[in-house]
Chains A and B, each alone.
Chain A
Amino acid sequence: MSLQDFFRPDGRHLSRGGILLLMAPFFMLIAFAFLYPLISLLSLSVTEPTAGFDNYARILDNPVYGKVLLRTLWTALLVAITSLLLAFPVAMAMVSSSGPVAMLIGACILLPFWSSVLVRTAAWAVLLQRNGLINEAMQWFGITSEPIRLLYTQGAVVVAMTHVLMPFMVLPIYGALRNIPEDYGRAALICGAGPLRVFTEVTFPLALPGVLGGFILVFLTALGYFITPALLGSPQDMMIATLISQQLREFLDWPFAAALVGVLTLFVTAITLAFSKIFRFDRMMGGQV
């Protein structure tokens, strides 16, 4: 996620004052509506009700909260893995298809970006409800004999979140695959590699930066996801975002909610920073030859 290559300063340089003036609105916006609120929230977590890390200790001490954290991690991981399994073949098909077919697949993948997250969540609620289409289909096929509970389960959350986040996985993988020259696969074939080994030795390793990028993006987004667990998940199987909401809105426990936000934010930031190095490392290795 290095932006160094993205922005190439060009043309006659502006004066320092001019640059400051032009950037001032951006910095003011970020400082006022992003940095300050976040910092003051996080400072609340270590100052109230008493100074120190009591709020964080509470998260660790209470096994209920530990379980929420683990469930969140596990759900996000599951969503990322499922998304990868769905997205990789789609990206491969897009790269290997002729123009119109590739465009059609791409359009289908991008279509969800243009439709409301809430509408899609509602669609899943309808599909998964007791007398919903999926329950009826399962009975029709004889998989189940009577309607089972699908809605308000962790499974519903995983399916709906995968549906929302999977497109974010397709794009970076597609980008990585498209950048692999066709001759690489040919070179591997002529060297004696069968189609499977071409994939394991050449295609997949070269697509790995895209796979990692997509995986991290989906995983991190899923970690903090609120809408889907709130509407489709069970109140017993809370995730960190729903727990934050509950602490805030039902118990009005600001400092504890702030500590949960702190844990989530620090975790997400740490992973992003850790992998930004790997991304750069990969770019260096994967340079055009």
Chain B
Amino acid sequence: MQNLSPRRLLLMGYVYAVLFFVLAPIVIILPMAFSETDYLTFPPVGFTLSWFTDFFSNSRWMGATVFSLKIAVLTAITTSVVATMATYALMRGAGRIGALFQGLLIAPIVVPHIALAVALYLFFQRIGLSSTVFGYVLAHSVIAMPFAVFTVSAALSAVDATLEDAAMSCGASRFTAFRLVTLPMILPNVLSGGLFAFILSFDEPVIAFFLAGIRDKTLPRMMFDDIEQNLTPIIPAIAVLLTAVSIFALIAAALLRRAAANRTAPEEAG
């Protein structure tokens, strides 16, 4: 129908207002990273890069960043491997175990993170896993798992299962068939599932809040403390760094998606 009716204008006006509400806070915080004041204010006063040098020279911030990176990388690996194994089994006829799997899969989405965080706090304290890399990786893998499974299964269901049969009829073992035929086709989704797990882990604040000890804090936990106590421009400085990383990640994800589209595209008929 007519594209510029008054109704349409009203709708688009409202939508742009909503988008402003969504984007403004994200955009507005970035320039504050260069403010010379030691509190956050907008517009920023002066120009300095000292908050960036502070961040990179402070051993506590750097330690937290390295700690978080370690956890995020291991979470990404754990999640994508475990999710791929389980999803593959599910798509190849898991039967009743599959139903149990599906029930348990969405449980970490349903149960609030605070509940899991408190439960893990209690349990990990008892067995000495609190504020250890291993403990965090377990916790983050649990919450990232459903998303990784969804991503992998979307790719697996697009792969023609008879291709594997064909490979096996050529003499490949089941594992070889998976490794040489199916895995290359679903790899982009496996990787983007892993990437998602990485981001989720690296930005995870709630479990980090409860599991953190005095010394080994994750980056989100350090940020939480800074926001709660000082609210210095180090937060926007981190935001600028994270945004830069996110842009790289976005581009990487887009490339992965393109690769995925190419790999799972059906052959030409005939």
Contact = CB atoms under 8 A, between A and B. Distances in A.
Contacts of B165: 11-12
Interface string A1-17: 10100111111111000
Contacts of B107: 30, 34
Contact of B120 (A13, A37, A129, A221): A37
Interface size class of B (residues with CB under 8 A): 35 or more
A281 interface: no
B26 A112 contact: yes
B114 A224 contact: yes
Interface string B89-106: 111111101100110111
Interface string B213-248: 000000010011001100100011011001100100
A118 B221 CA distance: 9
A121 B86 contact: no
B264 interface: no
A188 interface: no
Contacts of B101: 23, 26-27
Contacts of A37: 116, 119-120, 122-124
Interface in A80-127: 86-87, 89-90, 92-93, 105, 108-109, 111-112, 114-127
Interface residues of A, number: 86
A33 B238 CA distance: 30
Contact of A126 (B7, B41, B106): B41
A230 to B, nearest CB: 8
B176 interface: no
Contacts of A1: 106
Interface of B: 7, 11-12, 14-15, 18-19, 21-23, 25-26, 28-29, 32, 40-42, 81-83, 85-86, 88-95, 97-98, 101-102, 104-108, 110-124, 138-139, 141-142, 145, 150, 153, 157, 161-162, 164-165, 168, 174, 199, 203, 205-206, 209-210, 220, 223-224, 227-228, 231, 235-236, 238-239, 242-243, 246, 249-250
Interface of A: 1, 3, 6-14, 18-20, 22-23, 25-27, 29-30, 32-38, 40-41, 44, 86-87, 89-90, 92-93, 105, 108-109, 111-112, 114-127, 129, 131-133, 163, 166-167, 195, 220-221, 223-227, 230-231, 241, 244-245, 248, 254, 257-258, 261, 264-265, 268-269, 272
